[in-house]
Amino acid sequence: MLRSSLRIPAAGCAFLVTAAVSSAVLCSGPGEYADVAVISGARAGPGTAAARVIAHRGASRDAPENTLAAVDAAHRRGLIWVENDVQRSRDGRLVVLHDATLERTTDAAKVFPGRAPWRVGDFTAAEIARLDAGSWFGGRFAGERVPTLAAYLRRLERNGQRLLLEIKAPEKYPGIEAQVLRELRTAGWLDRAHVRGRLVVQSFSVRCVRTVHERAPQVRTGILGAPRARLLARYARFADQINPPASAIGSGWLAAVHRLRGPHGRPVEVYVWGVAKNTTTRSIRVRGADGVIE
């Protein structure tokens, strides 16, 4: 997902809520800021507190995005939820990386100079594991690796964290929905506790989200983007969330979404992204969205 800055003073506390989980108070140390995504199970209103937080690609202001270091940085801040992006290597392994290519967040151009444009799906898992995914962010992260999804899930489990998982560009990776679900099941993430309160799977691809729901109807899902109002009722059959860019929010559209109930019988939620730099989380909630992905 595209990124813009949203800094929330972490010296304050926020409440993290999902549809099936009780509120938990999250606090960080004085003077810190959280680079965040948001997930909640409550409707916004003028009297509500500031938005709930989840670390976007991990605590990616403190550590290189989508790495285990970013997961741990979020954990140290007391952030329970993290968001990541999942793609597939040439030999069929699931890896956690946002971009379509390896160039921006690894040293692939140096290690494999003749293989531009360094598309993720053109490299084996072993080749990706050779890459430095930390030095671009800062010297102290030199040697940080692109994690496999399996390693990422183990780290979340160790830390007691929760996951908003985005399947990236599924049209490039036929069958990735079933593969992601198999990996989640193998890691124990499709049991009752995880699917009710620790996992959401989202994608920009409506077909992908529908496939995830058909294969694992117990899993909560989200569609990224701003579908036309006439399509919302159809999508609510298999999506618990509709997550648009902030620029697409209008009171009529939000009202249309909130009138619907998702596949698990609860009102469909809206989490916005692409928030303007100076927008506060409180103002987003007052406008009617359930949360922010930033």
Q: Is 264 a catalytic residue?
A: no
Say if CB 266 and CB 253 are below 8 A apart: no
Q: Alpha helices, DSSP H only, in the chain?
A: 68-76, 108-111, 125-129, 149-159, 176-186, 192-197, 206-215, 229-235, 251-258, 281-286
Give CA separation, 94 vs 2, 70, 99, 111, 187, in Å: 21, 18, 14, 21, 13
Q: Is 75 a catalytic residue?
A: no
CA angle, residues 30, 74, 248, in degrees to nearest 5:
95
Active-site option among 56, 75, 194, 213:
56
CA distance 193 to 177: 21
CA distance 247 to 250: 8
Active-site option among 75, 98, 194, 213:
98
Enzyme catalytic residues: 56, 98
